[in-house]
Amino acid sequence: MSFLVRQIALKSSGEEIVRPSTIEGDELTIGRDAANGIHLPDLAVDPRHARVVQGADGNLTIGSVGTQPFEVNGRSVTEAVLDPAVGAELMFGGHRIVISRDTESGMLAFTVRRVEAVSDSAEDKDITTVYTLKGLLPGKRMSAWTFAVLVLISFLAFPIYSYMTYKPLAMQEKARRPDSFHADQTWSSGPLSLAHKNLGGDCQACHTEAFVAVTDKACLTCHTKDAHDHISDKARLLKARGEPTGLAALQRAVATAFNRPAGRCVDCHTEHEGAGAMPATQQKFCADCHNGMKGRLTDTKLADAADFGMAHPQFKPMVISGMDGDKPLFQRAMWTPALQENNGLKFTHGQHLSKTNGIAQMVRRMPGRFAATDGLDCKDCHKADSTGTRFKPVVMEDSCQSCHSLSFDQVGGTFRTLRHGKPEQVVADLRAFYRGGAPARPANLSGLARRVPGDAALRSTAADYARAVRFYPTRAEQAVAQVFSNGGMCYDCHTVTRGGTMASAGFTVQPVAQNDRYYQKGWFDHKAHDKTDCADCHTETGTSNKATDLLVPGIDGKGGCRTCHVGGEGAKLASVSVKDPVDSSCAMCHSYHMDAGAPWAPAKDRKKDVGQTVAVAERPRFPVKLH
């Protein structure tokens, strides 16, 4: 099968030049590539735009190779079936192709003509210029010089004049430019972020000297309290970053020569990036220093870190190590599954979250009172604070007393209870109860009757406890010993030891310390995880039978943070198999500026987001710094 292709070109005189060629084969291709049967040198045409095939019935099928359409008789299509006897007109970009049957050879003929005129005759030139102002305008050289002078005046001379006339006023205290246009604002590369929005009309608040880059001193004029400790020792910061090499070394040298030394605040905190919140610090700003930092800064106590998913040290939670009177002592410890913490309670999660023991049976007897119907749930005791960021301390009267009643006597319809958290007062109340000899009713001091939670515990009468105190029916000191001994109210939940003051009858109850934040070096927000079940992270809670089990997840393993958080380069980790991976850069947990542990926010914006104020309302027990 053969195709006849006629390429028609025009001379400057308007004469046509016809270049015929014969293409052998079963199909004919059309496109910008020179290898096509019909070569169309037009950027609007794909390299291999369409293919022409003649069927057994003699009709032509023309279809696009890609998705780019073409025109057939004025209609845009991607495929068409044509009868050569009828003919057709195709349009590809600026080229028209007429299909017909050649009368001499009988072959299918494709006549290609460029639609746009290529004539460059004098008549064409006159027609295109006769109605223009070209002859009245100055020449190109004069126009270029005039435009250059206007640019210098508008964007150099006028801004410098505006800056210099305001400079004396800027030296005055609390001076502020009037709200109007100032020529030096044309130098701005973009709008300020929301944090600095109020400085939008006062460039000299930061740019204190003309043609001098913003200095750290200008930043510290306002940021005197929230500046990070990196700023105090730039030499150490640069040493941790390491000496640049190659092109980076050249860039640093040039920047230093133009009064832009490395280690400034604006190296990381770039402005004029758009009228929105300051974007989170890019991970590379952290990894530039912390990746391999131990080799450069040998005295650092920090482990190397480059990416949460690939290179991050194991967590070091802050755990209770002991007590100094009523004040807990804390220390950081490397996380392990066996890490323990003694908070003074004998409470075990496994016992209270069981779905088969007596506690679960109590819950089933009281439908609607607890979160679940088959046993206790985490939310029955752990309540989120108003921000959802942390949990409130567990209060005995709210979470424990419904099962662990402290009622020891009933007078009519009134129940007398021991003072929780005040061992000396418990001793005083019992001594007063027995003052003058044995009362008619013995005190209810054991845990034997606290079988059913709720009001049933309060309705227990003295007779219910009589067997538990049968050895101490008349003596106050024996009753005191009972409450602090095995089976007694205090002993059941608290760590009680021998030894103490006369006021406490020789017993010491270890104070209870609740740790509301284990990870002080990073920020964790429970509100961001409120759609996740507690057991997904605290996986050992339901089986823990030790009161000292920490039950806080680490970085790896079952329930670890890497179960979901794959790091800033998580998409590149071939070994990570996570159903819903969360890209987690350094800034997700570590804020360069720390406000009592919470991610930094300007003071004026903290009221807008209560999540930022939680650390102000509940300040940690010790200073928090990232480094």
Provide mean pLDDT across the span 594-611: 47
The DSSP output letter for 307 is: B
Which residues are within 8 A (CB) of 415 and not within 5 positions of it... i.e. 6 or more apart? 407, 409, 458
Among the ranges given (198-202, 369-373, 493-497), the one the predictor scored with the smallest mean pLDDT: 198-202
Q: Which residue has the higher pLDDT, 373 or 462?
A: 373
Indicate where the chain has its CATH 2.60.200.20 domain(s): 2-123
CATH architecture of 2-123: Sandwich (2.60)
Over 50: is that where the pLDDT of 317 sits?
yes
In the chain, the percentage of residues whose pLDDT exceeds 90 is: 23
Tokens of 557: 């393993």
Residue 40 confidence (pLDDT): 93
8 Å CB contact between 477 and 461: no
Name the band, by pLDDT with cuts 50, 70 and 90, for residue 463. Answer: very low
| pLDDT exceeds cutoff 90 at 89 | yes
4: pLDDT strictly greater than 80: yes
Q: What is the mean pLDDT of residues 155-162?
A: 85
Residue 568 has, within 13 A of its CA and on its CB side, a CA count of 19
- pLDDT tens digit string along 211-248? 788 888 888 888 877 666 666 677 888 888 888 888 88
Q: Which of 292-296, 433-437, 543-547 has the lowest mean pLDDT?
A: 433-437
- Percent of the chain exceeding pLDDT 70 equals 78
- Determine the Cα–Cα distance for residues 162 and 184; give it in Å rounded to an integer: 6
**How much is the average pLDDT of 524-544?**
90
Beta carbons of 613 and 596 less than 8 angstroms apart: no
Side-chain-side CA neighbours of residue 256 (13 Å): 8
DSSP 246-271: THHHHHHHHHHHTT--TT-GGGT---
Q: What's the pLDDT band for 129 if we cut at 50, 70, 90?
A: low
pLDDT at 189 (0 to 100): 80
More confident residue, 20 or 612: 20
Lowest average pLDDT, out of 175-179, 405-409, 468-472, goes to 468-472
- Beta-bridge partner residues of 28: 52
Q: How many CA atoms lie within 13 A of 139 on its CB side?
A: 2
Mean pLDDT of 410-427: 86
Confidence class of residue 91 from pLDDT cuts 50, 70 and 90? very high
Assess whether pLDDT exceeds 90 at residue 445: no
In this prediction, residue 604 has a pLDDT band, given cuts at 50, 70 and 90, of very low
How many degrees, rounded to 5, is the angle at CA 20 between CA 19 and CA 22? 145
Cβ(22)–Cβ(3) below 8 Å: yes
Rounded to an integer, what distance in angstroms lies between the CA atom of residue 99 and that of residue 3? 11
Contact assessment for residue 308 and residue 586, using Cβ atoms and an 8 Å cutoff: yes
Give 161's contacts (C-beta < 8 A, 6+ positions apart).
183
The least confident of 87-91, 103-107, 171-175, 246-250 is 171-175
Which tokens hold the place of 481?
A: 């010993």
Residue among 269, 192, 187 at smallest CA distance from 223: 269
CA distances from 531 to 455, 534, 535, 583, 610 (A): 34, 9, 12, 18, 20
* Beta-sheet strands, E only, within 448-541: 496-498, 507-509
pLDDT at position 77: 94
Beta bridge partners of 101: 108
b/e 253-286 (16+ beta carbons within 10 angstroms → b): eeeeeeebbeebbeeebebeeeeeebeebebebb
Q: Where does the pLDDT of residue 611 fall: very low under 50, low under 70, confident under 90, or very high at 90 and above? A: very low
Would you say residue 361 has pLDDT above 80? yes
pLDDT at 222: 83
For residue 52, give the amino acid letter: V
Is 87 in contact with 100 (CB distance < 8 Å)? yes
CB 578 within 8 A of CB 564: yes
The structure tokens 């809670």 sit at: 541
- Tell me the per-residue pLDDT of 245-275, one tens digit each, with 9 for 90 and over: 888 889 888 888 877 888 888 877 778 877 7
Check pLDDT > 60 for residue 137: yes
Selection from 190-199, 424-433, 567-576, 614-623 with the highest mean pLDDT? 424-433
What pLDDT is recorded for position 528?
87
Quick one: pLDDT band at residue 472, thresholds 50, 70, 90?
A: very low
Min mean pLDDT across 39-53, 163-177, 500-514 is at 163-177
More confident residue, 477 or 420: 420
Q: Between 443 and 211, where is the model more confident?
A: 211
Predicted pLDDT at 377:
92
The set of residues, in sequence order, having a beta carbon less than 8 Å from that of 499 and lying 6+ positions away, is 506, 507, 508
pLDDT at residue 553 in the model: 93
Q: How far is 204 from 188, CA to CA, in rounded Å?
A: 12
Q: Residue 453 carries which side chain, given as an amino acid letter?
A: P
Cβ burial, residue 292 (10 Å; 0-12/13-18/19+): middle
Going by the DSSP 8-state scheme, the letter that residue 344 receives in this structure is S
| Of 32-46, 69-83, 109-123, 215-229, the least confident | 109-123
pLDDT band at 389 (very low <50, low <70, confident <90, very high): confident
Q: How far apart are the first and last CA of the chain?
A: 80
Q: What is the DSSP letter of 117?
A: -
Flag whether pLDDT at 617 surpasses 50. no
Dihedral sign computed on CA atoms, order 218, 222, 228, 232: positive
* pLDDT reported for residue 455: 45
pLDDT at 173 over 80: no
Identify the H or E element spanning 46. Answer: none
